Amino acid sequence: MSTPAVPQLRTRKPTGVVPWPKILLEGEEKAGKSFTAAEFTGSKHTGQAYWLELGEDTADEYAAVPGAEYLLVVHNGTYRDILGQVEAVHAEAKRAAAAGEPPVVLVIDSVSLLWRMLVNWANGRARRSNKGQAKLNRDPDAEIKPSMNLWNDAVERWNRVMYLVRTMPGIVVMLARGKEIAAVDGNGDPIPNTKDWRVEGQKSLAFDATAWVRLRRDEVPQIVAARSLKFRVPREGKPMEVPDFTVERLVFGLMGCASHAAPQAAPELTGDLAEAWLPKVEESAKDGLNGLKKLWFEVESAKELARHEVIVVRAAIEKKAAALKKPEVLSDPTGEPDEDDTSEAARLRAAAKGLEFDDGVESSFDDEFAAA
C-alpha cells in the first residue's frame, strides 16, 4: 500500500494591518443613526458606498445629509433577493480590494428589521404547518410556537447574511434599534428600580460586529465594545463616551485603519467544494439545457472535486434541468415558495444519497443531455 502524501504546510508572516471594521450602530428612535451613517458615506478615505434599506424609508431623503455620497441597493423585498444583493456588494468589495482601491462601504438599515422579517417567516411557517393548522381549526386564537427546526432555518438565513458581512473586504455599518427595558431576573420577573438595554436583532449580532456604538437622544455617543489594539473600552461595564463621535473618526482615528494599507482578505469558509459549484448551475441554466450539459461534463473533469461532491453538483444540474423542462414539477406541496429555499445543498445531499456514479458509467441523465 502506498503511503498518503503529507499535506504541505503553508504559512505567512502577519502584516499587523488593522482589518476593516463591521460596526453595529444602534440606539433609540430619532437618535441620529441614519444621519451618522449617511455622513460617513462621503468620507475621503473610502470608495463607493452602498445603502441597503430594509424596512426603513429614509435612504432617499438622507442623501441630502452634508457630505453623503452613496448608491441605493435595489431589491424586491424577498430574502433571496436581499441575500443576492449583499453577495453582489461583497463581490464588488473583493474586486476593489484586489485592485488596490479604497474600501467599499455597505450600510444596512436596519438589521433589526431583517431579523424581524425572519421571525415573521418562522411564525408564518409554523401557522401553515399541518400541526399548526389543526390547532387553529380548533381554536383560531391559539398560540402557535415555531418548532426548533423552523428557528434553525431562520438563524441559518441570518447567518448567511452575517457571514457575508464578516468576510467582506470593506467597511460595513449595521444600523439597529435599541431601547431601555425593565431588567428581569433568571425567572423572568422584573427587578425593582433596575433598567437594562436591549438591541433588536438576532442574539449573536454583537459577536458579528467588531465595534459596537450606541446613540441616545440628548446623550453623548458611546462605544459599548470594540475589538481593537489601538484603544480599549473600560471593562467596568460602563461604555466609553465619545463627545465628538463620527464613524470616520472611529474607523480612521481610534481604530487606526488606513485606506492605503488594505488588510489581507480572509478566505471564505465552505463545508465542501460542492458549495462553490452550486452557483455555477444557476449561471449555466441561463443558456438552457446546452449550458447545463456543458457543466455536467465539466464537473466530471474537475479534479478538485471528490466523488460525493460530484454527485451533489450533478443532482443540482438534474433538478435545474427538470425545472427548465417542467417548471411545475418543483412546486412545493407545503406551500413554501421555491424561491425562499436556502437549504439547497442539504436538500441535494439528501436527494443524492440514492445516486451512484461509477467511473465510466453515466446516469440516465447523460442520455437526455446527449439528445438535447
Q: Are 157 and 5 in contact (CB under 8 A)?
A: no
Quick check: helix, strand or coil at residue 347? helix
Quick check: helix, strand or coil at residue 225? strand
Cell 459599548 maps to which residue?
A: 224
Query: With helix as H, strand as E and coil as C, how does 18-55 read?
Result: CCCCEEEEEECCCCCHHHHHHHHCCCCCCCCEEEEECC
Burial class (CB in 10 A: 0-12, 13-18, 19+), 74: exposed
Residue type present at position 341 = D
Average pLDDT over residues 325-335: 53
**Ordered DSSP codes for 153-200:** HHHHHHHHHHHHHHH-SSEEEEEEEEEEEEEE-TTSPEEEEEEEEEE-
Q: Are 24 and 239 in contact (CB under 8 A)?
A: no
Other residues' Cβ atoms within 10 Å of the Cβ of residue 311: 23
355 falls in which pLDDT band (50, 70, 90)?
Answer: very low
Q: Which cell numbers in the block locate residue 326? A: 417542467
Sorted by where each begins, the domain ranges of the chain are 22-254, 274-371
Average pLDDT over residues 205-218: 94
The CATH T-level fold of domain 22-254 is Rossmann fold (3.40.50)
Per-residue pLDDT tens over the stretch 64-112: 999 999 999 999 999 999 999 999 999 999 999 999 999 999 999 999 9
pTM of the model: 0.77
- Cis ω on the peptide bond leading into residue 110 (within 30° of 0)? yes
Average pLDDT over residues 321-326: 85
Report the alpha-carbon distance of residue 62 to residue 72 in Å, rounded: 11
Average pLDDT over residues 8-35: 94
Per-residue pLDDT tens over the stretch 337-351: 444 444 555 555 555
Cell 430574502 maps to which residue?
A: 79
Of 237, 235, 178, 234, which Cα lies nearest the Cα of 205? 178
Give CA angle at 38 (32, 43), nearest 5°.
Answer: 125
Sequence-ordered list of residues with C-beta below 8 angstroms from that of 363, at least 6 positions apart, any chain: 314, 318, 355, 357
Identity of the highest mean pLDDT range in 26-30, 196-200, 319-323: 26-30
Cell 430619532 maps to which residue?
A: 30
